[in-house]
Structure 1
Amino acid sequence: MPDTPDTVRQTLLALRDELESLREISEESRAPVELDQQSVGRLSRMDALQGQAMAQASERQRLAHIQRIDAALLRLDKGDYGACADCGEPIADKRLKADPAAAFCINCAR
């Protein structure tokens, strides 16, 4: 049985809030790595740069997921939620349960 539009909206907004919270928490780890040779050795700086790169990659993924959630909320407002953005066929309820921001049916997502 498909979820009601209100339930879907609440789920999407909760996911969006969680991602925004993670963005705030990880802000410091994405900050530029300072070049201070006296307090940070070369290997420590390399570790810090690697950590920064991983945090930045995670941030890009979070932003992309937030954009997908915003697009799903827009589809919900327009009455298009649950229809494949490519072929227009209904997206399976199981797929929407697993990923409420899914825009494509399983066939078009391949």
Structure 2
Amino acid sequence: MREDIDPEALRAALLRRRETLAAGSDGRAEAAATVELDQQRTGRLTRMDALQSQAMAQATRQRAERELLRIDSALRRLDAGDFGDCLRCAEPIAPGRLQADPAATLCIDCAEQSGGQR
């Protein structure tokens, strides 16, 4: 394990973020549920607004699910002892980058080459 990072502090940050995302999952699932409107009482614009809100909630839920996968992957790397190394070039990821995003999988150079992907 690297000496220039505090793995337990990063683990705690990952677990806090995971807990926050998991706590909001019920509300996201409810907001993304199928829109059922009474066609007699609801106007066209209200239906469009409801469908747009549903689409936005679904996108938010998908982003949260991807973030949970990233967090779980980072926790597995911590347990395996290979946390903090770039998955592309195997160079160490800068400690500041890991503090900003403990689930980061790429060093800044590889992330920039990937078009900003993590």
TM-score of the alignment, normalized to the shorter chain, above 0.5: yes
Name the residue aligned to 1:5: 7
What's 2:104 paired with?
Answer: 102
From 81, 84, 102, the equivalent of 1:82 is: 84
Determine if contact 2:28/2:60 at 8 Å carries over to the other structure.
no
**Which SS does the other structure have where 2:88 is aligned?**
coil
Taking the aligned partners of 2:56 and 2:40, their CA distance within structure 1 comes to 25
Cα deviations across residues 19-75 of structure 1 (Å, max 9, x unaligned)?
Answer: 111212222211100042023211101000000000101111111111110110011
Structure 1 counterpart of 2:49 = 47
> Which runs of no fewer than 5 residues in structure 1 stay unpaired?
none
Specify the alignment match of 1:64 in structure 2. 66
2:54, 2:5 → 1: CA distance?
Answer: 39
Counterpart of 1:32 (choices 31, 34, 47) is: 34
In 2, distance between residues paired with 1:82 and 1:33?
Answer: 43
Sequence identity (%): 52
- Single out whichever of 31-40 and 100-109 deviates more from structure 2: 31-40
Taking the aligned partners of 1:15 and 1:2, their CA distance within structure 2 comes to 22
User: How far apart in 2 are the matches of 1:92 and 1:73?
Assistant: 18
Q: Give the aligned partner of residue 115 of structure 2.
A: none
Per the normalisation by structure 2, the TM-score is: 0.87
CA distance in 1, matches of 2:37, 2:4: 54
Could you tell me the TM-score, scaled by structure 1's length? 0.93
Q: List structure 1 segments (4+ residues) > 4 angstroms apart after TM superposition.
A: none
- Secondary structure at the counterpart of residue 26 of structure 1: helix
Say what the alpha-carbon RMSD is for the aligned residues.
Answer: 1.4
- Aligned equivalents of 2:4, 2:102: Cα separation in 1: 11
Aligned equivalents of 1:23 and 1:85: distance in 2? 29
